[in-house]
Amino acid sequence: MNILIVDDNPINRKMLLEYLARYGHCDIASNGVDAVDQFEAEFTTGNPYDLVLLDLMMPRMNGQNALRKIRAIERQYSVPAREQAVVIIVTAIGSPEDVLKTSEFDRNTDLIKKPVRQSELIAKMKSHGLL
């Protein structure tokens, strides 16, 4: 599995990396701009991300805008809906309903509230067929 962890907090990135390293190759990004660039670059190598963990509040580009651009990249490359990356938004702000209203939520997008528990993250991955 190819995984992208996007969070501006280095402690959160380290924790998520520890949770996920055993499940596949993990890349990290500290802001939305870098995340979108990395996401698109993986298409050119033929190894697109299967899972993206995406913080909402980040510098340079927030998670909602990054999600919009990620889904636009997938449309550009004609990725069928069933093959799109699973994006799990990781946030400490707002309610899930607020996030759902303002993001491009679909069957491949989910949400986890911070602090992230490993068991919850694994359960979300299983529910999306990643494990």
Contact 28, 9 (CB under 8 A): no
Residue-wise pLDDT for 9-24, tens only, equals 999 999 999 999 999 9
What's residue 32's pLDDT? Answer: 95
How far apart (Å, rounded) are the C-alpha atoms in residues 103 and 16? 22
- CATH number for the domain including 25? 3.40.50.2300
Residue-wise pLDDT for 113-128, tens only, equals 889 999 999 999 999 9
Cα 95 to chain centroid, rounded: 18
Question: What is the mean pLDDT of the segment spanning 58-78?
Answer: 91
Contact 2, 48 (CB under 8 A): yes
Structurally, the chain folds into a number of domains equal to 1
- The CA-CA-CA angle for residues 119, 28, 103, to 5°, reads 70
Q: Check pLDDT > 80 for residue 104.
A: no
Q: Which of 2, 4, 52, 62 has the alpha carbon at shortest distance from 28?
A: 4
How far apart (Å, rounded) are the C-alpha atoms in residues 78 and 25? 24
Q: Work out the angle between the directed axes of helices 63-76 and 32-45 (0-180°, nearest 10).
A: 20
Structural domain containing residue 122: 2-127
Q: Check pLDDT > 70 for residue 57.
A: yes
Residue-wise pLDDT for 71-101, tens only, equals 999 999 999 988 999 999 998 876 555 555 5
pLDDT band of residue 56 (cuts 50, 70, 90) is confident
